[in-house]
Structure formats: structure tokens, C-alpha cells
Amino acid sequence: MRIARFLSFILLLASCSKDAHIVEHPEWKQSFAQYGIDSACFIFSDHSHERVHLYNRTRCTERFLPASTFKTFITLAALETGAARDETTVIPWDGVHRRPEWDKEMNLREALLVSNEPFFQVLAQRVGRQNMQHFLDTVKYGNQKMGPRADSFWLDGSLKISADEQVGFIRKLYFDELPFLVRSQSMTRAMLLREDSNNNRWYYKTGLGRTNRGTDIYWIVGYLEHVRSVKEPEKSMNKTGVRNYPYFFAMNFERPASDSSQDWSAIRLKLLHELMNQFGATHDE
């Protein structure tokens, strides 16, 4: 029932501009404009109130290469097939110097944290082309295309996905509704935790890739879980006195590939916090 309801939101997002469940925020343009960003979108689903909030509806439904946000999917596929046993699975460093944070032996959790590209290329090869295509088709992830190379199709423009599809994917992961074992999904979620403070837990994966327009696209995809203490009714099935309020989000924006005037990766994260704070989702005190 929950799946069908959310899918209806996504369909409405693409086809109905005045639906009460979809709230557009043209004022969020100013948040991007303050950094000189004019090609951007942001969408999040407020699960508790069954609302989808967004900026730039057209771009939210446009598909782009997922870049390193796809490493969440690779992690799921690797755990599902046994290509990775768990978060402690190690892939040795091949000795090639690329980036200081990548140039060492590390395990899956560490590799996901620093977005180690060579690590996940090896992991994707271990999953295998046939298995990966099966999972893409079963999940219905974006356009489901792998292209000629099984170790870089999430970077070369073969595979593409929209921001609203990213939100649908991460929401299903949260509720164990993807066609993977619950074990695979719960382990993957745990590895996505990046921030935990003030009763707000931020789970996300970033991505950076080069589009066919010659621009760089910056992604951030994940969810915010606000944890609140509540006094439950006496007959409530929840005896913990704690409730989790999830918000699922996806943002992307483009910059000229030659633009190094600012730390766009840091700005991406700053924008996420600014927009969620404007909405009040973080309940910061």
C-alpha cells in the first residue's frame, strides 16, 4: 500500500502541477542563486505528512548520470551476491596513486565513506554484468542501461536517473522494500550514516560526474531521520517512547567543469542543510 501511494506521488509529480500532495517552492531558487547556481533542483518527500516538496519540477524529472550516488546500489548488489560479505570486506589497493584518501587498502565501509572509485569498480566487476543488469531491471533504476563497460557505466552517461526516481529508490531502501534481502538493505543503510546530532540523523551519498554538456553535476541523495521522544497512548503498540520521522531527498546542480572558484562539494552539503532548515524538517532547537 505504501509503495503504491508513493508511486502515485511520483506520477503526479510528472503530470499534475496543482495536486495538493505536491508543493513547489520557487523561493528556493534564491538559495542556489546566492552561490551563482542557476541549473539546479531539489526534491524531498515528507513521509509523515505525505507531501512531496520540490524546486524546479522540470529538472527533478530529468535524468542524469548518477555518478557516485550509484555506489549505494553497488553496495546492495555486492552484499546480495556475496561479492562483499559485509562492511568489513577488504579489496587490496592496486598500488596506483590516484588520490591520497584512496591510496590504501580499505574495507567496504571505509570505501563508501571516501567514495573510492577503484574499489567500487572492482566490486562491480565481482558482482558481474548479468547480475547487475538483473538488479537494475528488477529495481527499475533510472533508464536501466549499463552501456559497454561494466565498471564505469554510472559515470560515462550510459546509466541515467532523475532526482524524483532517486527519492523513490532511497525511500524503498529505508522501508526494506527493494528486491534485496533485508540484511543487504539494513547493512547498506548503516553505512550511509554521515551525521548524527540534535536528534537528527543524516544518511546520504554524494556524487560528482561530467555530463555530455561538458559540465560537472553534483548530487546528494539520502534521507534525514528526525528522532523525537513522545508520550504514547497506553494502548499504543510502540512501547519505546521514540518515533522516527523520515524525509527523503535528492539534489543536483551543474557547474562549468572549469569552475574551481568555490568548493562546490562543500556548498552542496551546505545547501542541503539550508533548505531542510528553511522547511523546518530538522527541528533544531
Residue 146 main-chain phi, psi, to 5 deg = -95, -30
Q: How many CB atoms lie within 10 A of CB 57?
A: 17
Given the residues 17, 39, 48, 68, the one annotated as active site: 68
Residue 64 is given by DSSP the state B
Helices (H), the chain: 2-15, 29-33, 57-60, 71-81, 108-114, 117-127, 129-139, 163-174, 182-191, 264-279
For helices 2-15 and 163-174, give the axis angle rounded to 10 degrees: 170
Active site residue 261: no
Q: Where are the beta strands (DSSP E) in 171-241?
A: 193-197, 200-210, 215-229
The residues annotated as belonging to the active site are 68
